[in-house]
Structure 1
Amino acid sequence: MSLASVGCATVRGEKYTYNNLPKHLIAGVRENPQTIELSKLASATTDSDVLDHGDVVEVSIAAGLNEKDTIRIPVRINDEGDVELPEIGRVHVAGMKVTAAEATIVQECISRGLYRSPSVTMLMKQQRTNRIMVAGAVKKPSVYELPRGQSDLLSALSKAEGLDPTAGTQVIIRNMGHRSGVRPDAIASGLKNGIDTIGHSVEMTSKMHETSDTIKVDLVSATKNGTGGYQLEDGAVVYVEKRDPEPLHVIGLVTRPGRFEFPIAEELRVTDAIALAGGVSSMAADKIFVIRRKPSVLINKTVDPENPDNVETILIQVSLANAKQKANSNIRLAPGDVVSVEQTPVTVILELFKRTSMNFGGSIPLLGSPIF
């Protein structure tokens, strides 16, 4: 069936008006990601004085007043959170502040009979660097190295030079993939394949769930509510959804029926759709049906615009006259909607009068205005 033949008689589904349309079927407000203040994602500064695995520190142990009695040991904190010190052995320091780690080493020196009253100082030489993959709708997707104290969502997006113009508002963060032997690029591929092109997230494979933790972030809510932060671990993947909305179709009594690109970050209403199609082709046209698929269909089915009967739809009846006068009647449209300007007895009669007038050389005047 051609899309041009769609009408109230051929499309099945529940029927509503703007007055009784359930909330879950109302088209949502389409935020413009380019206007989001990403700076509001900033988290409280991580305490760089707290030690963690992978950090490189320098431990100085002074047994006396003479400088020659001081030994300096550069050491990396291992994956278990320990430092390996000559003669002293392993000392667990991860999760401690530098001062607490210094005191712990002093106690180890004394308890092992190595020094009577040593002076221990520890200097942070280099924090561990986390490798973070930023993928999807960012300007420069790549793998970036971030100090662990600055490994958060804002820093990752900043490294990638911000959002691409095609970006949506949803971001998926997948942590801990490296601990299960899963490469960041493999995780990024899984994330990309798990998100459809109209902004709805779907479930990942069970394997992906077993290997890592997932956080789904709505940038609009996060920046408005101040729920930023989102710390990233080594091997994490940040995937910014790409928004590629389905087109809008305008059919029926319009000047240029057809398919129109749905704006990425703009609001589109019924009268806007009619204007895109060059306006109505009949001065009596007033009855409009907005044909909309149910939200569950958007996730589970791929829809052929030439065969819309293969999915569950709803019909929302709109009066063009009311839409021009009342904002709430001029309903917001969603990607994939079909706007059908319907034939009515009045439009049919008007068309017959026009044809008759043309056949008689315009000798029959059309008196008065059409009755709506």
Structure 2
Amino acid sequence: MPWLLAIALLVGSGCYRRVITPKHLPKDLVAPHVTNAKAIDLSRLSGFASTKDFIEIGDVIEVTIVAGASDQGPLSIPIRINADGTALVPLLGSIPLAGMRVEQAEQIIRQQAMAGGVYVNPHVTVVLETKDANKVTVIGAVENPGTYELPRSSSNLLTAFVAAGGLTSNAATNIEVRSPAKQHFPLNRQRQNRLANYNDANQHVQPVSRSVKINLVTASNAGRGVNLKDGDVVMVPEMDQNPVTVLGLVKKPADYKLPSDRDLHVLDVIGMAGGLTSPVADKIYVIRRIPGKPEAQVIKVSYHKAKRVRRENIRLASGDVVSVERTPLTVAFDVFDRFVNFGVGATTQVPMF
């Protein structure tokens, strides 16, 4: 059969390190546990959520100043908080307000107005009109991929996943968060005192970006929240869906899909393949490839040991090949079985006189 030739070539060609047993299985060959992303407690990924009463960069506040004994009339104007955290208040200039509560901002503006002599004992009211939002894109294995505006006070992974409708059943637990590239213009020493022209600027543009890989299980267990910035892209890949191939002395050799909600072991997949075709079959080869390495590794498993010892019934990984091998014992048993069947058949055909 073709699969026998393929296995023989693989085992005999040296395209693997060595044949090892489950007892001596190194850590890099241990198949990872299957974790259903939908079972992860996403609430632990919320990160730091600032109070809505805090003033943040990009927010719009409405400042109303009612004068006391002053010749200035009432002043009411919407003001956006600048990137440096300041608010440009007419007649008063730039006042740092980012990070303050509205009550604190009212006191600071009042003190500034009195210190400058612009107002005498003014009454100041600050209203937080609009909270600025971060535009975050969520793509991949989520129910509703897209770009969403998240309040900066709660711009985190939890909010992003909720906005995108949650993770799909085949979402992987390792995700990536990419931040947009920023333009960086290194200083041209020969032209420090001159404005660089358009071509010079383009020659020195260097995109600077950030990419962070996150394991959702680890982050959730540690309660480590992940905050997102404006322009971030959350990439959720699908689980590795390569099937497990079962060959050899089984009733239904085929490819079998890995479950998305539980681990799959050697005995499980042999059961899925209908069981063994020979009662004396015992030797099983699990052929496993490690990502990034060209050679395959062969793990030798005993069927009967796997039924008795939990360690022998190894967990399978995506893309594994499970081959139930022929041995001298299985060949001898087949010959004996055929001989017995042939003898029984011949006896039943002897004419009776």
Same fold, judged at TM 0.5 (above): yes
Deviation at 1:140, TM superposition (A): 0.5
Distance 1:221 1:12 in 2: 32
Q: 2:201 aligns to what?
A: none
Distance 1:293 1:158 in 2: 36
Stretch moving more, 80-89 or 287-296? 80-89
Distance 1:144 1:178 in 2: 19
Distance 1:36 1:173 in 2: 18
Q: 1:136 aligns to what?
A: 140
Which letter does structure 2 place at the counterpart of 1:26? V
Q: Check if 1:217 corresponds to 2:214.
A: yes
Q: Check if 1:325 corresponds to 2:308.
A: yes
Q: 2:130 aligns to what?
A: 126
Deviation at 1:94, TM superposition (A): 2.3
Unaligned runs of 5+ in 1: 182-208, 298-310, 365-372
Pairing 1:217-296 to 2, within 5 Å after superposition: 217-227=214-224, 229-296=225-292
| Aligned partners of 1:357 and 1:363 also within 8 Å | no
Distance 1:178 1:95 in 2: 26
Stretch moving more, 252-261 or 85-94? 85-94
Q: 1:356 aligns to what?
A: 339
Deviation at 1:100, TM superposition (A): 3.7
Of the candidates 26, 48, 52, which is equivalent to residue 48 of structure 1? 52
Which letter does structure 2 place at the counterpart of 1:289? Y
* 1:226-257 CA distance string (max 9 Å, x none): 22x21111111112121132111111111122
Distance 1:39 1:55 in 2: 26
| Aligned partners of 2:22 and 2:299 also within 8 Å | yes
Pairing 1:291-302 to 2, within 5 Å after superposition: 291-297=287-293
> TM-score when scaled to structure 2?
0.83
Which letter does structure 2 place at the counterpart of 1:58? E
| Aligned partners of 2:248 and 2:324 also within 8 Å | yes
Unaligned runs of 5+ in 2: 185-205, 348-353
* 1:312-354 CA distance string (max 9 Å, x none): 1111111101111221111111111111111111011111223
| Distance change (3 Å), C-alpha of 1:112 and 1:334 | same
Stretch moving more, 322-331 or 254-263? 254-263
Distance 1:3 1:352 in 2: 22
| Distance change (3 Å), C-alpha of 1:232 and 1:12 | closer
Distance 2:77 2:136 in 1: 30
| Aligned partners of 1:25 and 1:295 also within 8 Å | no
* 1:125-152 CA distance string (max 9 Å, x none): 1110211111111101111112111211
| Aligned partners of 1:292 and 1:315 also within 8 Å | yes
| Distance change (3 Å), C-alpha of 1:4 and 1:257 | farther
Of the candidates 58, 77, 83, which is equivalent to residue 87 of structure 2? 83
| Aligned partners of 1:132 and 1:236 also within 8 Å | yes
Over aligned residues, Cα RMSD in angstroms? 2.6
Q: Check if 1:154 corresponds to 2:132.
A: no
| Aligned partners of 1:14 and 1:313 also within 8 Å | no
Stretch moving more, 115-124 or 263-272? 115-124
* 1:274-297 CA distance string (max 9 Å, x none): 112221111110011111112433
Q: 2:298 aligns to what?
A: 315
| Distance change (3 Å), C-alpha of 1:178 and 1:114 | farther
Q: Check if 1:63 corresponds to 2:67.
A: yes
1:283 aligns to what SS in structure 2?
coil
> TM-score when scaled to structure 1?
0.79
Q: 1:72 aligns to what?
A: 76
| Aligned partners of 2:64 and 2:74 also within 8 Å | yes
1:212 aligns to what SS in structure 2?
strand
Query: Is the radius of gyration larger for structure 1 or structure 2?
Result: 2
Deviation at 1:362, TM superposition (A): 4.5
Deviation at 1:361, TM superposition (A): 4.3
| Aligned partners of 2:46 and 2:227 also within 8 Å | no
Which letter does structure 2 place at the counterpart of 1:259? D
Which letter does structure 2 place at the counterpart of 1:119? H
| Distance change (3 Å), C-alpha of 1:97 and 1:232 | same
| Distance change (3 Å), C-alpha of 1:3 and 1:105 | farther
